[in-house]
Amino acid sequence: MGVLNLTPDSFHDGGSYPTQKAAVNRALKMVEEGADIIDIGGESSRPGAAPISEREELGRVLPVIKGIRKQSKIMLSIDTTKAAVAAEAIACGTTIVNDISALRSDPGMTRVIARNKVFLILMHMQGTPGTMQHNPTYDDPVREISDFLQERIKIALGASIPYQQIIVDPGIGFGKKLEHNLVILQNLNRFAALKVPILVGLSRKSFLEQILGSSAEDRLTATIAANAIAVANAADIIRVHDVKEGRRTADVACRLRRRNAQDR
């Protein structure tokens, strides 16, 4: 999954694609580099980010979705917590809704997903983007996050969203300290008990800086290493800024994972 942030303030690539043409060209480049999905976001979810209006979010994402769809059949995901934004994006050809609130922000989201029969990504986050890094605490991160995701899956099922349309994301960096992120990655295969695909988004995130002391621009090799571990530990989808490197990482790590399974 390639990341296409259409925001001025995202932590790594905010403001990188100020025009529709630049954003569409970036998406097409990611397709060339091996992306299976393009995840389009118009509202930053970095720590401390302030919310924006529905109108502003739609103005950022819809022209780009339309522009990509004119030139490519790549699967598109809309990264939003707003039902109206999701509905408009779906009408323009998006088939995945990536809801970092896991259906908690907008009560209309379940109806949009169920009515349109699209995929839904449920992510764990302790708090909100504005507050999530204010001393997050857990007794058992993997168990607590797994329990949360199981509960959100039940909510989705109860709203007539079938199992085969659901994906889960443990939310690396969303209300987690360094030790929480590491424990999640080390034990990612425990989330397989949820029996739905697992997405992991750790591309260039700040927990890698805490390990290496490097800026977001200098975290590519750290991202590659972490993504290899994630895929080896059962990740089905990795969300990345650097698609060429992510594609190669996933292909090698997935092949090694299959070989290990055969050996056992």
List the catalytic residues. 205, 239
Rounded Cα distance between 115 and 226, Å, is 37
How many other CB atoms are found less than 10 A from the CB of residue 233? 20
CA distance 156 to 162: 8
Amino acid 121 reads I
| CB 93 within 8 Å of CB 33 | no
Distance, CA of 257 to CA of 58 (rounded, Å): 40
Q: Which residues contact 10 (CB under 8 A, 6 or more apart)?
A: 41, 44, 46
Q: 88: which residues sit within 8 A by CB, 6+ positions away?
A: 58, 62
Q: Are 244 and 224 in contact (CB under 8 A)?
A: no
DSSP category for residue 10: -
Distance CA 80, CA 133 (A): 20
Residue showing tokens 């739609």 = 58
Residue 64: HSE in the Cβ half-sphere, 13 Å Cα cutoff? 29
Q: Which amino acid is at 6?
A: L
